[in-house]
Amino acid sequence: KNEVEQSPQNLTAQEGEFITINCSYSVGISALHWLQQHPGGGIVSLFMLSSGKKKHGRLIATINIQEKHSSLHITASHPRDSAVYICAIIYSGGGADGLTFGKGTHLIIQP
């Protein structure tokens, strides 16, 4: 059973398009991370959210705790945004603080 579901699994878009990647989860969380993984394999943390919305440059992340749903948006997409975008949660309560990951969304932005 996957506690973190992402959609779409794969997304190809043209440069300049507005991109939305969705993440749904089925458990109570204390926080949610959006991460970026490039072809070389390294992982970069983009956002950590526990409520509301965060913005950094062309990236916007939102979370709805009641609906157990988060979205990552990319405005004015560019080929350098091509990467795997991963949603990861931290369970609420107890001592658990490791991340549980989704399978990722493979994004390709074509020039």
Partner 1 sequence: EPEVTQTPSHQVTQMGQEVILRCVPISNHLYFYWYRQILGQKVEFLVSFYNNEISEKSEIFDDQFSVERPDGSNFTLKIRSTKLEDSAMYFCASRRDRQGRAFFGQGTRLTVV
Measured from the CB atom, the residue of 17 and 65 that comes closer to partner 1 is 65
Answer whether 26's CB lies under 8 Å from 93's CB: no
Token match 């990861």: residue?
88
Q: Is 52 exposed, middle or buried (0-12, 13-18, 19+ CB in 10 A)?
A: exposed
Establish if 102 lies at the interface with partner 1 (CB under 8 A): yes
Contacts of partner 1 in 74-93 (CB under 8 A): 86, 88
Q: Which one of residues 35, 63, 74, 107 is an interface residue with partner 1 (CB under 8 A)?
A: 35
- Which window, 10-18, 19-27, 68-76, 100-108, contacts partner 1 (CB under 8 A)? 100-108
Q: Is 51 exposed, middle or buried (0-12, 13-18, 19+ CB in 10 A)?
A: exposed
Measured from the CB atom, the residue of 17 and 54 that comes closer to partner 1 is 54
Answer whether 85's CB lies under 8 Å from 105's CB: yes
Establish if 70 lies at the interface with partner 1 (CB under 8 A): no
State how far Cα 100 lies from the chain centre: 12
- Which window, 7-15, 44-52, 56-64, 69-77, contacts partner 1 (CB under 8 A)? 44-52
Residues that bind partner 1 (CB under 8 A): 31, 33, 35, 40-45, 48, 86, 88, 95-104
